[in-house]
Amino acid sequence: MNSNLDTDICKYLVSKDGPPSLYYIPDFIDREQEDFLLNKVYSAPKPKWTQLAHRRLQNWGGLPHPKGMVAETLPQWLQVYTDKLTQLSLFEGNGPNHVLVNEYLPGQGIMPHEDGPLFYPVVSTISLGSHTVLDFYYHQDNIEQNTQGVNTSVTSEQNQHHREDKNRITDNNKEDEPEQSDHHKENPTANSFENRHFLSMLLERRSLVLVCKDMYTQHLHGIAEQTHDTITNKILNLQSLARPVSIGETLQRQTRVSLTIRHVPRTVKAKFLFGRR
């Protein structure tokens, strides 16, 4: 872990002119820690992997469920990093209790979605092995009021209630798998994802990104399925990178492993979720 990391998270706010709920910490871990984490991920037993249509993943800490997650103890190799995030006071005094490991091969991504109400509205992600570009999109139902800029207002009601409409894609830990019935394909109209994209973040390997508050609750995020990324002026964190890049530069993707670290507020004992046997 970066020993120089200050727990004053405000210094890592991406842009004073952007939404006040995106934070980026380059070189959150060093090369040795990156190698260690990748080794741990790939040495996990085969049954730990779940194969989806466009990537594969591992769940650690339990499987989030609307009735509550049956919590499992995180392994020590992950606990070190969840403890570090706890020091940043991101989860109102609670520590992360769930880690989702995603593997993305070059050309793979995740369609625009929201993580949903099963999680506290902060998502923290460490990138290993490769960069990627994280894209943000307006929801279909609020694109008109956001055409002049990012709407950063959040009400308590919006934080508490999960709105459903035909154009919203929700991640309840099934991670937008197209075959799931509660995920809806986008109608390619004038309000398609391409037209609703309003900003991006370049996530370097070994970095930490934090998506909080309104950027979590009111907007979709996703990763395009492509083998390379071209740097544009829609990338908000160009001034925060560990290694400078230029507008128009093309970056080739490699295999990326992400550690998405979150807090699941509702946990239960197994007997209450599944019943006594």
At 240-258, the pLDDT tens digits run 999 999 999 999 999 999 9
Q: Give the mean model confidence (pLDDT) for residues 68-79.
A: 95
Helix (H, G, I), strand (E, B) or coil at 94: strand
Task: Classify 9-274 by CATH class.
Answer: mainly beta
| Residues 90 and 210 sit within 8 Å (Cβ to Cβ) | yes
Beta bridge partner(s), residue 209: 24, 125
User: Is residue 188's pLDDT more than 50?
Assistant: no
d(CA 182, CA 107): 25
Residue with tokens 């991670």: 175
Q: What is the pLDDT of residue 183?
A: 31
User: Hey, which bits of 85-241 come out as E strands?
Assistant: 98-104, 110-113, 122-128, 132-138, 197-203, 208-212, 219-223, 228-230
Tokens of 19: 């939404």
Q: What is the mean pLDDT of the chain?
A: 81
Tokens of 241: 């990178």
Of 172, 178, 185, 224, which Cα lies nearest the Cα of 201? 224
Q: What is the pLDDT of residue 157?
A: 29
Q: What angle do CA 48, 50, 53 make, to 5 degrees?
A: 165
Q: What is the pLDDT of residue 24?
A: 96
Residue with tokens 């929700």: 170
Task: Say which DSSP state 98 is in.
Answer: E
d(CA 163, CA 169): 10
Sheet strand arrangement including 49-51: 22-25, 208-212, 122-128, 256-262, 98-104, 56-60, 49-51
d(CA 133, CA 143): 22
Which tens digit of pLDDT belongs to each residue from 84-142?
999 888 888 889 999 999 999 999 999 999 888 999 999 999 999 999 999 999 987 66
Q: Give me the half-sphere count of Cα atoms (radius 13 Å) on the Cβ side of residue 221.
A: 23
Q: Supply the pTM of this predicted model.
A: 0.81
5 or 181, greater pLDDT: 5
Residue with tokens 């050309």: 107
d(CA 53, CA 270): 29
Tokens of 270: 């197994």
